Amino acid sequence: MSNSASVQSVDRAIAILEILARDGDSRVTDLAAELDVHKSTAFRLLAALEQGGLVEQSGDRGRYRLGFGVVRLAGAATAQLDLSRESRPVCLRLAEQVGETVNIAVPRDGDTVNISQVRGPAAISGHNWVGQRTPSHATSSGKVLLAFGALRPADELESYTPHTVTSPAGLELAEIRRRGWAATVEELEVGLNAVAAPISGADGSVVAAVSVSGPSYRLTQDRLPEVGALLVAGAREISQRIGYYG
């Protein structure tokens, strides 16, 4: 299938979801007519959506409605929005206290993705990490998510700088769990250090990490334990704000 055909199929699948959200349920023939496609094309798209749990057949034969997979996706999106909103006051305070950039990151398909960022007063300019997918073994947030079971280590750990840890044992995940925070020293980028602590969801499992990153000449190795303690306290507060009271 060509790229243009693939995009067209995605557009049509999205249109089907929107129609079902509007009408509640619909027959294949009605969907085909509204999309202006052959009935077999509409059926093929519905079959793919059904396989993903996004649609399901209703009690009437030949009629389809939204499936529980949509609820799952909506719940995940809502949880991420809640996390971004509830963490922001804490991140603003941490950025002011430490003077550096604060990020919230979540696990995604084996990597770490930053979903929000607050820049501290010392971070006049810098990289926007929001939406960026980063390797877990080379970031402080990723190490936290690995240590507390939100992610699994990759089979091969790629090197990004001369300081990147490329062996599972070198990640010292047990030590991270013991002290409650993780750090990276020029492991993703030369001249960039970072510290992170785990955020727990309502069920007590680690769902995200809050981190501070900054240039190594300001966020020095000597400062890492102090900043780590601030992040542990901040992460505990964020956890409580999203429903964890352990």
Burial class of residue 206 (count of CB atoms within 10 Å of its CB; 0-12, 13-18, 19+): buried
**pLDDT of 96:** 93
* pLDDT tens digits, one per residue of 159-195: 999 999 999 999 999 999 999 999 999 999 999 999 9
Tell me the C-alpha distance between 239 and 19, whole Å. 37
Q: How confident is the model at residue 235 (pLDDT cuts 50, 70, 90)?
A: very high
- Over residues 136-160, the mean pLDDT reads 93
189 against 155, higher pLDDT: 189
At a CB cut-off of 8 Å and minimum separation 6, what does 136 contact? 107, 110, 111, 112, 142, 143, 145, 146, 151, 153, 154
DSSP the chain: --HHHHHHHHHHHHHHHHHHHHHSEEEHHHHHHHHTS-HHHHHHHHHHHHHTTSEEE-SSTTEEEE-HHHHHHHHHHHHHHHHHHHHHHHHHHHHHHH-SEEEEEEEETTEEEEEEEE--TT-SS----BT-EE-GGGSHHHHHHHHTTSS---SS---SSTT---SGGGG-HHHHHHHS-EEEESSSSTTEEEEEEEEE-TTS-EEEEEEEEEETTTS-GGGHHHHHHHHHHHHHHHHHHTT---
Check residues 70 and 127 and name the one with the higher pLDDT: 70
Ordered structural domains, the chain, with CATH: 3-66 (1.10.10.10), 76-241 (3.30.450.40)
CA–CA distance, 172 with 195 (Å, rounded to integer): 14
Query: What's the pLDDT score for residue 75?
Result: 55
Residues 32-44: tens digit of each pLDDT: 899 999 989 988 9
- Which pLDDT score is estimated for 192? 94
- Mean pLDDT, the chain, rounded, equals 87
> What pLDDT shows up at residue 60?
66
Average the pLDDT over 211-233 and give the result: 96
Q: Round to whole Å and give the CA distance between 234 and 96.
A: 13
Tens-digit pLDDT profile for residues 92-113: 999 999 999 999 999 988 889 9
Q: Which residue has the higher pLDDT, 61 or 18?
A: 18
**Whole-angstrom distance, CA of residue 16 vs CA of residue 236:** 42
Segment 105-131 mean pLDDT? 81
Q: What confidence score (pLDDT) does residue 202 get?
A: 79
In terms of pTM, does the model score above 0.85?
A: no
Percent residues over pLDDT 90 in the chain: 48
Q: What is the maximum alpha-carbon separation in the chain?
A: 68
Given pLDDT bands bounded at 50, 70 and 90, which one contains residue 80?
low
Residues 6+ apart with CB under 8 A from 88: 116, 118
Sheet-wide strand order for 206-215 = 133-134, 111-118, 101-108, 206-215, 192-200, 182-185
